[in-house]
Chains A and B, each alone.
Chain A
Amino acid sequence: MAYNKPLPAPTPETQEYWDGLKRHELRIQRCRDCSRHYFYPRPFCPHCYSRNVEWTTVSGKGKLHTFVINYRPARGFESDVPYVIAIVELDEGARMMTNLINVQPDPQHVTADMPVEIVYDDVTPEVTLPKFQPARR
């Protein structure tokens, strides 16, 4: 069945991020001046405003920072309800929105600060989305 959920469209400053995901690499940016990683991609550091930034490949490991368990589906998500919309804080410090998958969508099983790891979800031939699951021990 055709993928009918919202799909991202890269812009020049985000192309490397989406290309990386397609290769199953998580590529985010880091500031060479203040050493902090940040997300989403842009050609300067939103922490110290330096334009001296670089792309880095990161581990895809992190912690579940906060989340909701969503019962009112967005278009295309009707059969996924309930699903976890999550903010993951990567080990490198940057935060991103994602879905937590391969877990029971229940506050007994989904808890703040639980360790998580990336799952590369090839949703179309062109687009891979970064999803996360509980880290394997």
Chain B
Amino acid sequence: MPAPDSRALRHKVAIVGAAETDTVGLLPNHSMLHLHAESAFNALDDAGLTLADVDGLATAGPSPVQLSEYLGIAPTWIDGTSVGGGSFLIHVGHAVAAIAAGYASVVLITHGESGRSRVGVVGAGGGAGGNQTPGGQFEAPFGVFGPPSTFSIPIVRHMKRFGTTEEQFAAVAVATRAWAVKNPRALMRAPITVEDVLNSRLVAWPLHLLNCCVVTDGGGALVLVGEDRARDFPKKPVWVLGRGEAGAHSNISQMRDFTQWTHGIAAGENAFHMADIDRSAIDHAMFYDAFTHTPVYALEALGFVKPGEGGPFMAEMHTAPGGDFPMNTNGGGLSYTHTGMYGMFAIQESVAQLRGEAGERQIRDAKIGIVHAPGGFFASVSTLILGNE
């Protein structure tokens, strides 16, 4: 057997069903598992399938067996990779290999999180864990409190090394909000300015409130099948062209280089190798924005700009409506929705753009999209390249 090459799996598996929960935002009448189920039903409806057709299941948050029980299915391929908000991108990559190998024929990937209302939360949460864990011994005693105090730790080093400014990070929130204005489902839709961001209350300097994502309830799901039947569904298939993933640390204090996302570079290179395209082929980008600095690190890790150029690039508003690098067009985690593990929504928007279903925010002639996400605090990373031709 010749050495395997991921390029052999390019364009072999497609997303044929994609949907979110009926609404996103504040859903106090939905348990976490109900959000998964509503997403699953909506995505399967989108593909003209039912739960009876599903033989592969991947999810994060609850385990795939907890979800199988709730849905009443017994899938013969399961993936419970749960490494934070980007887990669903990783599931897509794993599903490509599983479908190509014949392990499964219809893979359902679900997300649902009662991030705001906290109803019926199932499964292991994040956090430092017990006081014997590395996080419990070497971070918790110093008063870290959730993502705003940990995900933010690298920022000052980026500022020190490259001269990135608070105004440049604030510009990310401004550009993203300008997209949210065009999305009727977005939680935050009033336009904002750099001054508004810098004048919002301090959360963990250099983070102000408007540098941080919203907190919501919601879910989304995807249905994937192989090339042999991908064209037999109601909607045009969205092909998986490339995927990459990596993991390197769990606790932010162990991040190898606070100025660049080193394993994010590896994930991106693997995705572009598999897709066999250049950066210039990308029409649309979804870079997970838990905070305003995460897309800056993504832009640099993926090679769209050189190290240190991410801040000025954002300040020049290339990513805003009308710009030449449309990014986070649903309004992102910053303004659209962020349930906790936002990666599913980043994929949903990429699919919507490639299907031409993005309404007022539609990018004309979008053919190839990239989705890139951290899980945890730059801990895991995942990249997808999707295409509609």
Binding site for B on A (CB under 8 A): 5-11, 14, 18, 39-40, 65-77, 80, 82-83, 85, 87, 95-99, 107, 112-113, 123, 129
Contact = CB atoms under 8 A, between A and B. Distances in A.
Contact of B131 (A9, A73, A99, A123): A9
A87 B131 contact: no
A65 B251 CA distance: 16
Contacts of B204: 68-72, 85
B130 A9 contact: yes
List of 6 A-B pairs having minimum Cβ-Cβ separation, nearest first: A74-B145, A8-B137, A112-B160, A97-B253, A69-B205, A66-B157
B291 to A, nearest CB: 11
Nearest to B158: A66
Interface residues of B, number: 38
Contacts, number: 119
Q: Say whether chain A's binding surface is mostly helix, strand, loop, or mixed.
A: loop
Given A72-B203, A85-B204, A97-B138, 14 more contacts: A6-B128, A9-B132, A40-B134, A40-B138, A68-B152, A69-B205, A71-B202, A71-B203, A74-B149, A80-B143, A82-B205, A99-B143, A112-B157, A113-B160
A85 B149 contact: yes
Contacts of B136: 6, 8-9
Contact of A11 (B132, B140, B154, B155): B132
B137 A68 contact: no
A95 B156 contact: no
28 contacts: A6-B128, A6-B140, A7-B131, A7-B141, A8-B137, A9-B132, A10-B132, A11-B132, A39-B138, A66-B160, A68-B149, A68-B205, A70-B145, A70-B149, A71-B201, A71-B202, A71-B204, A71-B205, A72-B145, A72-B149, A72-B204, A74-B144, A83-B143, A85-B144, A96-B253, A98-B142, A112-B156, A112-B159
